[in-house]
């Protein structure tokens, strides 16, 4: 997950960046003023912003965040020594995901980041995440993977890891897990392959076997018995062959 830090205390910014990267996050920039942060934000991918309120430059942290979210909405977490009522009221107007007083504790920050991504995804994609089970929200399903626009966040080892839907090569059933295979990595989710297939919002994911779902846009070649996806050989079963072949019939 790509994080932008806006902090004018060099030592604190360096420590925060090192801590986050040791947690598995990617710090894409550490800026000490709002203009630098905004210029970067307009041209680069950012998933979450950690912002101090007292920073260098013409804008304070709240003014900077106001300009950032006017470009694109992402979760905002304030890290600040300012806890007075007036500052808090100004900050609330930007609808931050969290407001953490300094000195921060990594456990609190880790939880704030996880909740920020979770709540932001729910806000952006309520229909996708509002999965019902016996008339009640299926909380476990919502925690497994979240969608924000064309990206998916998957819970792996106590943090959310992001990848694009277009990166998916195929899904593979593995006992009680489903492996999501991309060209770079494999992500394991504790759900049946049918559930994952149904909940991933991709029309080009096609079931070819009880244990496999392929992205037809990633197919190298195929015959009646198997399909090659990015060098991986995947069997085609009789049950799903006719439905699969429909995608390639002449019209």
**Using an 8 Å Cβ cutoff, are 27 and 5 in contact?**
yes
Kindly state the helix (H) or strand (E) to which residue 215 belongs, with its residue range.
strand 212-215
Asked whether the CA dihedral 58, 30, 16, 1 is positive or negative, the reply is positive
What would the DSSP string read from start to end of 153-174?
Answer: EEEETTEEEEEEGGGEEEEEEE
**Using an 8 Å Cβ cutoff, are 5 and 17 in contact?**
yes
pLDDT bin (cut points 50, 70, 90) of residue 116 is confident
**Using an 8 Å Cβ cutoff, are 149 and 124 in contact?**
yes
Q: What's the predicted TM-score (pTM) here?
A: 0.59
pLDDT digit string (tens) for 60-105? Answer: 999 999 999 999 889 999 998 888 889 999 999 999 989 998 888 8
- Cα 98–136–121 angle (5° rounding)? 30
Asked if residue 135 has pLDDT above 80, the reply is no
Q: So what's the pLDDT on residue 173?
A: 93
Q: So what's the pLDDT on residue 141?
A: 45
- Can you state the angle between helices 61-71 and 85-92, rounded to 10 degrees? 10
**Using an 8 Å Cβ cutoff, are 203 and 194 in contact?**
no
**Using an 8 Å Cβ cutoff, are 151 and 144 in contact?**
no
Strand partners, 160: 155
Q: How far apart are CA 242 and CA 239, in angstroms?
A: 8
Asked if residue 46 has pLDDT above 90, the reply is yes
Give the C-alpha distances (Å, rounded to integers) separating 236 from 29, 175, 240, 242, 244: 46, 19, 7, 10, 9
Which of these ranges, 35-49, 155-169, 223-237, has the smallest mean pLDDT? 155-169
pLDDT bin (cut points 50, 70, 90) of residue 58 is very high
Q: So what's the pLDDT on residue 132?
A: 34
Q: How far apart are CA 110 and CA 115, in angstroms?
A: 9
Domains of the chain: 2-123 (3.40.50.2300), 162-248 (2.40.50.1020)
pLDDT digit string (tens) for 173-231? Answer: 998 889 999 988 888 888 889 888 887 878 889 999 999 999 999 999 998 899 999 99
Q: Which two tokens stand for residue 161?
A: 């890891």
Asked if residue 120 has pLDDT above 80, the reply is no
């Amino acid at each position: 997950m790509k994080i932008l830090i806006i902090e004018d205390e060099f030592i604190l910014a360096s420590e925060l960046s090192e801590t986050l990267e040791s947690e598995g996050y990617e710090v894409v920039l550490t800026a000490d003023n709002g203009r630098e942060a905004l210029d970067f934000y307009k041209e680069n991918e950012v998933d979450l912003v950690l912002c101090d309120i007292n920073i260098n430059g013409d804008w304070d942290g709240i003014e900077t965040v106001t300009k950032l979210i006017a470009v694109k909405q992402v979760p905002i977490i304030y890290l600040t020594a300012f806890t007075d009522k007036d500052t808090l009221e100004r900050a609330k107007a930007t609808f931050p995901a969290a407001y953490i007083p300094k000195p921060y504790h990594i456990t609190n920050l880790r939880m704030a980041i996880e909740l920020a991504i979770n709540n932001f995804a729910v806000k952006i994609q309520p229909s996708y995440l509002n999965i019902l089970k016996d008339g009640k929200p299926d909380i476990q399903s919502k925690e497994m993977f979240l969608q924000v626009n064309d990206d998916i966040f998957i819970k792996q080892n106590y943090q959310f890891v992001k990848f694009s839907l277009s990166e998916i090569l195929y899904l593979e059933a593995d006992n009680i897990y489903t492996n999501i295979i991309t060209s770079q990595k494999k992500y394991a989710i504790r759900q049946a392959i049918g559930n994952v297939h149904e909940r991933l919002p991709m029309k080009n994911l096609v079931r070819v076997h009880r244990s496999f779902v392929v992205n037809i846009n990633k197919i190298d070649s195929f015959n009646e018995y198997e399909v090659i996806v990015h060098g991986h050989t995947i069997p085609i079963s009789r049950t799903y062959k006719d439905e699969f072949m429909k995608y390639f019939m002449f019209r």
